[in-house]
Structure formats: structure tokens, C-alpha cells
Amino acid sequence: MDTAPHNSPSISDAVAHQKPPEVPSMLQELIHRMLGKYWDRTPAAVTICSLLQALSDEGSPVIFDHMAFRTLQAPGYGIDSIASVFTDFGYKEQDQLDFPNKHLRARWFSPPNPNSKLPRIFISELKVDELSPRARGIIHKYLERTGNAKGRYSAFCAATGVVPWGLLDSDDYDALLEEDEYAAWTLTNGYALNHTTVAVHRLQGWKGGLHKVNDELTNRGFPLNLQGGVIKTSADGGLKQSATVSERVPIAFSDGSNALLPGAYIEFAERMVLPEFEHLKPEDVREEHRRDGFEVGNADKIFESTKLAIKEPIRQPMAEWT
């Protein structure tokens, strides 16, 4: 599935319409809708994907390694609320990753065919019960607004941009941000895509790997996440990742104010060929021959991309926002 925008900067035709027969049309449409909202909120990602297309062989399409979502661990709102729609279409649950210092856990899901152009799905959830009573109270106050629906419509929300519990009060946002940035991000952004990840090793004709991607972005002024170094590398050396710092988007509050706060970002992953397949010719290497899965150490630093975008919020009355 060609999931990246074409060279045109227009958001209206930002997603491709190639329809491989092995991809169910409902799943394809859902992913396209989720990405459509992501392009709207992350214009730098549109520019970057268009750049990578232009620098690859004949503008070959960008393929995503994975798409990532954030959720809250509460009955009906956690990982399963997003995962279920993908597992219904044949995605398979894989490993769990734990981040005790961040009060997070995550699971990832592989597409039905590892050599297809479908992305992996990475879903994290905040362990709400590990937060302070004050933070827990704020979170549950908003979750209760969804009534019996809970997180059953999370995929719909991700595809439409609807935040199911509505607008936050700015004081509640500030209180959450003081304790846990992930909680503040999730309550303000809802089920929106947190980031997409370009599969650098699947860029046709690309020379220089992830290092070259980072050089191109740095030379053009895109801010990169430097936590743990520009490139975060797994212990086995098989998975290399980098990411931009999150862009900021206008978020409305229930008290009539508005602020520029962290939205989404774009990540880049390079999966190396496994030792047992290094004898293969480059043209014979498929995705199943490369290092699969995720790495806690890498992901821990990638999570910082939204936190790095936190600055003094730019606030003003909603009526004055343009």
C-alpha cells in the first residue's frame, strides 16, 4: 500500500490510491483516512515524504514501516480499543514492551503478509493507575464523558480527528503536563496518529541509509530528536531509528482559549538484513529477511519527540485565533 503523499503539497490528494488486491478495501480506506488527518496536522511530514520520493529512484513511493497510536489504560480505552480493528483484518499480535520509567507499556502488531506494503501497528498505553490521585481524577473525569461508548469508536476518532471526550479545561491540561506529558498529549489529541515511520530500507535507489536521511533533513532545517543521539540503535545493531521533533498544532480549550501544543511527528527506521540472510543478493532481500520487531531503548527515546516540542504555550482567546 502506497501510504505516503505524492509530490504535490496539496493535502486533498496527499494519499495515494493504489489498491493492491491483497489489501481489504475497508482497511485501506481506514488507513488512508487516518493518514489524511495526520497530513493535515503534520505538514512537515508531507514535505519530507515528498523530498524522499524526489531523491529516490524516479520518485518511488514511500512505504511506512509502522504507524503509532497512544492510548490510556482504562477499561475500554487501552491498546485493544485501537488494535481490534486491525486484528479483525488479519494483523497478528506480537511482543509487549514495557517502559517502567514512563508508566507505559506497548504492543505491536504485524500485517498479515510481512512483504506487503501494509505498515506494522505500534500501540502504547499509559498506566493510569500509577499516576497521582490528582492526575487519575482528571483523566477519569474526561473518560466518563464518553458514557457507554468508551473506546469502541477509537478507529472512527482516529480517522475523523474527533476527540471523544471533548475539550479539556486549560487548568486540567496544565496539571497533567506538570506530572506526565504523555497524559496531557493523549487527552488533547485523542486517538490521532502520534507518528508514522518511513521504512528507509524500502526507499528504492536510496544511497546512504538512515545517515543520509538525517543529513538531508538537518541541511534543510528540520529539527531532529537528539535524545540518545540522532540515531537510536538496538543492542544487536539490527534496528536503527531517528525522528523529528513534533510539530505544534492549535488546541482549543473549554474555557475559550487556544494554545499551540505538540501534535505529531515523523520517524525513520532502517532494518538491517539478519546475519543468516547476508548471503542474499540485494535484489533478493525481502522484509522477512530483515530484523523485525521493536526495541525498548530506541522507543523510549523516540517517545521524547512530543516532549521536546513543549515550550511556553502560546495562548490567546479562541476568537482571535487565525
The percentage of residues in the chain with a pLDDT greater than 70, rounded to a whole number, is 89
Cell numbers that stand for 137 in this block = 481524577
Cell numbers that stand for 199 in this block = 521504512
Residue listed under C-alpha cell 487519575: 136
Query: Measured between alpha carbons, how far is 161 from 163 in angstroms, rounded to an integer?
Result: 6
pLDDT higher than 80, residue 297: yes
pLDDT of residue 23: 60
* Helical (H) or strand (E) element with 65: strand 64-72
Query: 191, 109, 186: which is closest to 154 by C-alpha?
Result: 191
* Helical (H) or strand (E) element with 31: helix 25-41
Q: What is the mean pLDDT of residues 55-64?
A: 84
Query: 249, 247, 227, 299: which is closest to 269 by C-alpha?
Result: 299
Cell numbers that stand for 181 in this block = 506529558
Residue-wise pLDDT for 248-273, tens only, equals 999 999 999 999 999 999 999 999 99
pLDDT of residue 12: 29
Rounded to 5 degrees, φ, ψ at 161 are 85, 5
pLDDT of residue 96: 97
pLDDT range class, residue 148, cuts 50, 70, 90 = confident
Query: What's the burial of 267, exposed, middle or buried (CB within 10 Å: 0-12/13-18/19+)?
Result: buried
pLDDT of residue 5: 57
pLDDT of residue 195: 98
Query: Measured between alpha carbons, how far is 102 from 219 in angstroms, rounded to an integer?
Result: 32
Least confident of 14-28, 29-43, 113-127, 246-260: 14-28
pLDDT range class, residue 25, cuts 50, 70, 90 = confident
Q: What is the mean pLDDT of residues 126-136?
A: 98
pLDDT of residue 113: 85
Query: 315, 184, 186: which is closest to 260 by C-alpha?
Result: 315
pLDDT range class, residue 1, cuts 50, 70, 90 = low
pLDDT higher than 60, residue 10: no
Cell numbers that stand for 229 in this block = 543521539
Residue-wise pLDDT for 169-225, tens only, equals 999 999 999 999 999 999 999 999 999 999 999 999 898 999 999 999 999 999 999
Sign of CA dihedral 284, 288, 291, 296: positive
pLDDT of residue 16: 39
pLDDT range class, residue 26, cuts 50, 70, 90 = confident
pLDDT higher than 90, residue 315: no
pLDDT higher than 50, residue 321: no
